[in-house]
């Protein structure tokens, strides 16, 4: 059954049906993944809080691959990277008492 969106509700009809909302959500997810990927590639190896490899030499490659492979799965990789690596940055010296 098709819903008839009359005068007061016609601007929100496509949003409620999901096309505009889902398109904006997908664009935001891809932009977020690109931002997290750039952060990962610019980050020095010593800034990864939980090294995945000995000496953290391949951590950038592992995180970047994980984010790129998870693009088809609702950007789960970028979300995990954000909570694991970005939110737990080491102290930059601002509160170190120097």
12 vs 62, residue with greater confidence:
62
pTM (2 decimals)?
A: 0.69
> What pLDDT digit, counting tens, does each position of 40-85 carry?
999 887 787 777 777 777 888 888 898 888 887 778 899 999 998 8
The pair of three-digit structure tokens given for residue 54, joined into one six-digit string? 């000995």
Rg of the chain in Å (alpha carbons): 20
DSSP one-letter string for 6-65:
-GGGGGGHHHHHTHHHHHHHHHHHHHHHHHHHHHHHHS-GGG-SS-SSGGGSSHHHHHHH
Q: What is the pLDDT of residue 36?
A: 93
């Amino acid at each position: 059954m098709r819903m008839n969106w009359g005068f007061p509700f016609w601007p929100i009809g496509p949003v409620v049906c999901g096309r505009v909302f889902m398109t904006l959500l997908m664009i935001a997810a891809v932009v977020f993944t690109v931002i997290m990927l750039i952060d990962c590639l610019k980050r020095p190896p010593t800034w990864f809080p939980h090294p995945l490899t000995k000496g953290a030499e391949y951590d950038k490659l592992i995180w970047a691959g994980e984010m790129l492979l998870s693009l088809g799965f609702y950007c789960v990789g970028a979300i995990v990277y954000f909570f694991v690596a970005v939110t737990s940055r080491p102290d930059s010296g601002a509160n170190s008492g120097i």
